[in-house]
Structure 1
Amino acid sequence: MNASVSALPATHNAVKTVLSQRLPSTSQLKQQLPLSDTLSARVHDQRQAIRAILNGDDSRLLIVVGPCSIHDPQSALEYASNLAALSHELRDDMLLVMRAYVEKPRTTVGWKGLAYDPHLDGTDDMAHGLALSRELMLEMLRMGLPVATELLQPIAAGYFDDLLGWVAIGARTTESQIHREMASGLGMPVGFKNGTDGGVAIACDAMRSAAHSHRHFGVDEQGHPAILLTPGNPDTHLVLRGGHSGPNYDRASVAKARAGLEKNGIPSRVMVDCSHANSSKDPLRQPAVFDDVLQQRLAGDDSLIGMMLESHLFEGCQPLGPNMRYGVSVTDGCLGWDATERMLRTGAARLQAQRNATKAIA
């Protein structure tokens, strides 16, 4: 044994990671809960539709909307059913994507999401959480909805990657080399959020990195450590979510972000997250942010390709506990469904009016 290692204090040697339960490999869970050929083709078409919006070949707005996090399968599927019906109605002007977040970043500690703790009791039954999360995403696909999530733990990404139409990399992980490598191998569009300081330089670096091929450490579909070779992902874009200094969705901030993208040779594709710092963490301010960004788009700023909204069946949020209200978020506060539906209908009507006016002039 190396002398420097053997000389370590006994208390240091006692600190070990304890393996308490083996998880199924990604291939095992995918075999257990398979994606049918019909749904696989649907995911392909959904990704292509999102790419068309990013590339300017489709003039619709991309709207990623849904709960801050999913904690209750029943309310999540009720929300998805509502969204699927509205999506069909607004399909000429908006592409609605279901926000199905099953992992949640924690600043210190707290509930980490459905994939980690599906029973909401600290038992951390991750095997069940992964299976339940995949089941829910499959059901949302059956409803006809594209599915979006934030990929936080790269090992978990392989359990869902075949189901997703769009992916977010969060403000705290956009700077992570591991997440940039992961994004370079994903087969769907990826939105990188600006850093928590509100600046876009980190996100620009992330998009440039993700566009390139990488050879990196990872886990293969059988669960073995492996060297992974990724091809690079050209379908990335910026997500403005505000920062410590305040919102960054106004015209001047969007123009500054666009200039930063152009300086780095990155396509000017910007989504605005209407929650977080852009709404000053007040979910009821999201419609005001939405209206401002929509007006910028209607005024001719085609770099604004879409928006993100935190919305649940009912507004607000609540702590985890024995008597929780149905359809209310347990993480960030959300806009209620009625207000969300009204906002999206009104926005689609404004887009349709402009589209009709353009046709009349032509």
Structure 2
Amino acid sequence: MGIKSNKELPQPTVLKEAFPLSQTEQTIIRTRIQEIKDVFTGKSKKFIVVIGPCSADNEDSVCEYVARLARVNEKVKDKLVLIPRVYTNKPRTNGSGYKGMLHQPDPEKAPDLYEGIIAIRKMHLRTIKESGLPAADEMLYPENRPYLDDLLVYEAVGARSVENQQHRLTASGMDIPVGMKNPTSGDYTVMLNSITAAQHGHRFIYRGYDVTTDGNPYAHAILRGAVNKYGVSVPNYHYEDLMRLLSQYTEKDYQYPAAIIDANHYNSNKQFKEQIRIVSEVLHSRNYNPDLQNLIKGVMIESYLSEGSQPISSNCVYGKSITDPCLGWEDTERLLYEIAERC
């Protein structure tokens, strides 16, 4: 076999005992999950903003970012539900490059998944402890989810994973809202099939067990743009794209039809400043059509302390992305207040 075992990893129960949640933090998480669920069921009219770095690459800068976000949250919490984007796994298009803190707790050192699993749990715990804002992460590896499943209030299944059976079935067993991104091809049918699968119960093999899931009624769409056969970006945040999703949603009996619009990735063609304009257009479309106001529950924004991106080096700028470029803090803060005014 071409596989070499490097190190046996701790069981999730062992890691949770070593780095536990306090009763106060458990209450914060339960309350936040219910608040987010209320948005998806329509009980709450608040607008969700999943926002943060493309990749959570440094505990100190991520926690500082989330602390700033918490201060803004105090001013907008009557209108917005701010969910920090603390993404600890980074999918790579061709398999090379920085794969996130799970793989490399220190981006300048060799991968160490044992230390990585510890590092990502400690970071998520610290963000909750210091800010009171539990976070979102991406389910890149379903088998790793139990290391963080008691900490998260929202999860996303990425464009490259949304057709994968294990991702779909694992999502059906989650008790938090999960966003299913459209695939890189942009095919809505693939995304909607994934939502259907996640909303229904299944029986399958998971981490060595024969398991049965109840289905997740809060599984929903994330529109993140696509690429055509020539590799050209094709956005899907425009009014006609949203109406097409609304039409396809009504063709079947989905629970709580909903969508989050990802303002970066192929919607912006990774031109990070375009996120400001894209969010503005989404808000306009939503306010123009009451049906879209019910469907579009929020936006996803990539943002960090310093704008842009940089290569990994020994003198990296603190709080600047080492993966996709992000909005800086000043633009972020202004944008959040604008969203609160217009949503």
TM-score, scaled to structure 1? 0.89
Within the candidate set 278, 290, 307, 2:279 is matched to 290
Correspondence for 1:79:
65
Quick one: which amino acid aligns to residue 274 of structure 2? R
- Determine if contact 1:96/1:146 at 8 Å carries over to the other structure: no
Deviation at 1:84, TM superposition (A): 0.6
1:133 to 120, 138, 154: 120
Aligned to 1:103: 89
Q: Which of 32, 37, 45 is residue 31 of structure 2 equivalent to?
A: 45
Is 2:209 the partner of 1:226? Answer: yes
Amino acid paired to 2:223: L
Which of the numbers 231, 236, 243 marks the counterpart of 2:219? 236
Which structure 1 residue ranges, 5 or more long, are not aligned? 1-14, 220-224, 352-362
In structure 2, what is the equivalent of residue 8 of structure 1?
none
| Structure 1 counterpart of 2:201 | 213
**Counterpart Cα distance in 2 of 1:148 and 1:179:** 16
Deviates more, 1:155-164 or 1:137-146: 137-146
Give the aligned partner of residue 16 of structure 1. Answer: 2
Give the superposition deviation at 1:122: 4.7
Could you say what secondary structure the match of 1:315 adopts? strand
Q: Find the partner of 2:54 among 49, 68, 85.
A: 68
Q: Quick one: which amino acid aligns to residue 104 of structure 1?
A: K
CA distance in 2, matches of 1:344, 1:20: 44
Structure index of larger Rg = 1
Q: How far apart in 1 are the matches of 2:92 and 2:23? A: 36
Q: In 2, are the aligned partners of 1:119 and 1:125 still within 8 Å (CA)?
A: no
Q: How many residues align?
A: 332
1:5 matched residue in structure 2? none
Q: Retained in 2: the 8 A contact 1:94–1:348? A: yes
Partner of 2:249: 261
What letter is aligned with 2:118? Answer: A
- Looking at structure 1, the residues matched to 82 and 143 of structure 2 have their Cα atoms a distance apart, in angstroms, of 28
Alpha-carbon distance in structure 2 between the residues aligned to 1:64 and 1:282: 18
CA distance in 2, matches of 1:157, 1:19: 21
Q: Of the candidates 261, 269, 277, which is equivalent to residue 280 of structure 1? A: 269
Match of 1:313 in 2: 305
TM-score w.r.t. length of structure 2: 0.94
Give yes or no for contact 1:23–1:127 (8 Å, CA) kept in 2: yes
Percent of pairs with identical residues:
35
Computed over aligned residues only, the root mean square deviation of the Cα atoms, in angstroms, reads 1.1
Q: In structure 2, what residue type is equivalent to 1:296?
A: S
Task: Tell me the amino acid that sits aligned with residue 259 of structure 1.
Answer: S
Q: CA deviation at 1:110?
A: 1.3
- Output the CA distance in 2 between the equivalents of 1:340 and 1:292: 16
